[in-house]
Structure 1
Amino acid sequence: MEYTLTLPKTQTEMTIRELLENEWLVPRKVRHFLRVRKGVRLNGEVAMLHQVIRAGDQITLSLEESDYAFKPVILGDASQVEVLFEDEHLIIVNKPGGIKTHPNQPDETTTLLNHLAAYLAPKQQQPFVVHRLDKETSGAILFAKNPFVLPILGRLLEQKLIYRRYQAVVHGRLKQDLTIRKKIGRDRHDRRKRVIDPKGGQMAITHVQVAKIGTQTTQIYCVLETGRTHQIRVHLASLGHPLVGDPLYQTKKADRLMLHAYEMHFLHPFTKEQMAVKALPGLWSL
């Protein structure tokens, strides 16, 4: 595996070692391999890790498959993949509702990760999960295309530097914007579900913006400050406004769960360009 990156104009001066360790999060073991193998080139020339890099420099890393231990994914159906954005390092796709993000058993073949593996196979690339969406939820979801970028995207997610906005439709008339701050924990009686748990749960924060009030339902946008399992679903249900079509947290029948990851914004980890992707058409046109 060889990766060539041109450092953006915003890049500050630092050593190659500092770049690899602090910005690109290359594991210590892999940094050792790069040093021993002379696997780093700076502007085409073999480089030492103590050398200083500057904006506009070109860095090439030569890595071995064995440097990163990841299991291959069984190939699914590439035609199921709708690409919203793709480059050498990452891919954002529009997940359909009703399929899982990734397998829970090694022999599964019908998850989004399986389909994406089939899509990337002709390019000799493999997808890696950065975050997930519930099976019933549709919309924009981000995957790494190599193990090199995976920890960088993971850090962006942990530091809340990936903005995600959801569309949802809830039962009842929700008349004003609000922020929900309630702890969420596991349901002791149903392992599939989560509950509001003020004592033992993890803090969860959901910002809700009312888009359109109907006679029996309300269209809303949600932005998450935290990423707890079923967070939007549990928070809205706790207010007496469960999501339309939610098979776990309400009883009324509907064709699908009305929850859609509508847009995603973040700073590209290598180009430093502002990424802004929308998963159209969204719920309002369904």
Structure 2
Amino acid sequence: MTLQHVVTETQNKMRIDKLLADINPDESRSRVQGWITKELVMVNDEVVKANYKCQVGDVITWRIPEVESLDIEAENIPLDIVYEDSDVLVVNKPKGMVVHPSAGHQSGTLVNGLLYHCKDLSGINGIERPGIVHRIDKDTSGLLLVAKNDKAHTSLSEQLSNKDVKRKYEAVVHGVINHDTGMVDAPIGRDPKDRQKMGVVENGKPAVTHFQVLNRFNEFTHIECQLETGRTHQIRVHMRYIGFPLVGDPKYGPRKTLDTNGQALHARLIGFTHPTTGEWLEFEVEPPAYFKELLTNLELM
């Protein structure tokens, strides 16, 4: 499949591999560089190198390699479908469910359930991630966008890249945040001391998180976070960076935390422009029972 993008003013002088990785949020930069090496990427009908600096108005054309035959098993897993039409699907993912198959998680994932529910899904992100435009962590609950075809996938990916998708989360963090609102603008990349973690690093990808205090407790704060960008573990990394790690977070939280079986984080709201109709759609779901129970218990502490 061949895709096309015209470079905007905000993307001027960006490296071509970085720009394409941003446009395709679930593709690694190394994979994009592989496309470039195989001459699957062209700028103004000419082959370029990965370090090419894009110019406003450049027409980038790239071809996604053919999707291999799908061998992931479709499973009859109950899904909480919030919205569905012929182009997109919005699902409320439960806490504890992995989004797509990987080593150690070959079944029981959201993708296994989606393949049973939908006969056709976008193939842009390959055989293990059909229809997956963006991800939320295993222990994060809430709303996720799924593309049913490549046209919808491209549109939604570009909206994510252009920061046009509205995403709000609820979280409970350690510590009492004294100011009512705040913003964390700090680049995120692989932690050089632990490759299994992400961290705020000098050469990381730009990442911006806005937050607002919803309620304060004795030693904890209930907050709402709104994402401008969608980096891996962004909220978890940013809140730890400013000294307020998420409750229950086994990777970025303190050793002594509340037992919530994973980070207390819920993707509550998502809004986007429909890829075919152009209509703005917005959906919201309440946090799961464990999250509400946590808030009740904190009120009583």
Kindly name which structure, 1 or 2, has the bigger radius of gyration based on alpha carbons: 1
Q: Conserved in 2, the CA contact under 8 Å of 1:73 and 1:114? A: no
Counterparts of 1:22 and 1:270, CA distance in 2: 17
| Percent sequence identity over aligned pairs | 38
What are the equivalent positions in structure 2 for 1:248-259 lying under 5 Å apart? 248-250=251-253, 251=255, 252-256=257-261, 257-259=263-265
Counterparts of 1:224 and 1:161, CA distance in 2: 10
Counterparts of 1:261 and 1:94, CA distance in 2: 9
Counterparts of 2:283 and 2:229, CA distance in 1: 20
- Residue by residue, what CA displacement relative to the aligned partner does 1:208-238 show, whole Å, maximum 9, x if unpaired? 1111111111110111111111111011111
Cα separation, partners in 2 of 1:105 and 1:128, compared to 1, 3 Å: farther
The alpha-carbon deviation at position 281 of structure 1 amounts to 3.9
Q: Conserved in 1, the CA contact under 8 Å of 2:189 and 2:200? A: yes
**Correspondence 1:247 to 2:253:** no
User: Alignment partner for residue 93 of structure 2, among 92, 95, 102?
Assistant: 95
What are the equivalent positions in structure 2 for 1:45-84 lying under 5 Å apart? 69=67, 71-72=69-70, 74-84=72-82
What are the equivalent positions in structure 2 for 1:102-113 lying under 5 Å apart? 102-105=100-103, 108-113=106-111
Superposed CA RMSD = 2.5
TM-score, normalising length: structure 1:
0.70
Corresponding residue SS for 1:203:
coil
The alpha-carbon deviation at position 248 of structure 1 amounts to 0.4
Cα separation, partners in 2 of 1:69 and 1:267, compared to 1, 3 Å: same
Match of residue 267 from structure 1: 273
Amino acid at match of 2:292: S
Match of residue 125 from structure 1: 120
User: Alignment partner for residue 197 of structure 2, among 184, 193, 208?
Assistant: 193
Corresponding residue SS for 2:186:
strand
TM-score, normalising length: structure 2:
0.67
Q: Which deviates the most, 244-253 or 105-114? A: 105-114
What are the equivalent positions in structure 2 for 1:135-154 lying under 5 Å apart? 135-154=138-157
- Residue by residue, what CA displacement relative to the aligned partner does 1:133-155 show, whole Å, maximum 9, x if unpaired? 11121100001112332112111
Q: Which deviates the most, 106-115 or 228-237? A: 106-115
Corresponding residue SS for 1:156:
helix
Q: Conserved in 2, the CA contact under 8 Å of 1:73 and 1:117? A: no
Structure 2 unmatched ranges of 5 or more: 7-39, 41-64, 122-129, 294-301
Amino acid at match of 1:196: V
What are the equivalent positions in structure 2 for 1:198-209 lying under 5 Å apart? 199-209=202-212
Cα separation, partners in 2 of 1:158 and 1:173, compared to 1, 3 Å: same
**Correspondence 1:156 to 2:154:** no
Match of residue 134 from structure 1: 137
Cα separation, partners in 2 of 1:267 and 1:115, compared to 1, 3 Å: same
Structure 1 unmatched ranges of 5 or more: 1-19, 24-28, 30-66
Query: Number of residue pairs matched?
Result: 221
Counterparts of 2:214 and 2:258, CA distance in 1: 23
Counterparts of 1:107 and 1:240, CA distance in 2: 32
Q: Conserved in 2, the CA contact under 8 Å of 1:237 and 1:243? A: yes
Cα separation, partners in 2 of 1:78 and 1:182, compared to 1, 3 Å: same
Corresponding residue SS for 2:194:
coil
Counterparts of 1:76 and 1:190, CA distance in 2: 35
The alpha-carbon deviation at position 105 of structure 1 amounts to 4.4
Counterparts of 1:113 and 1:268, CA distance in 2: 22
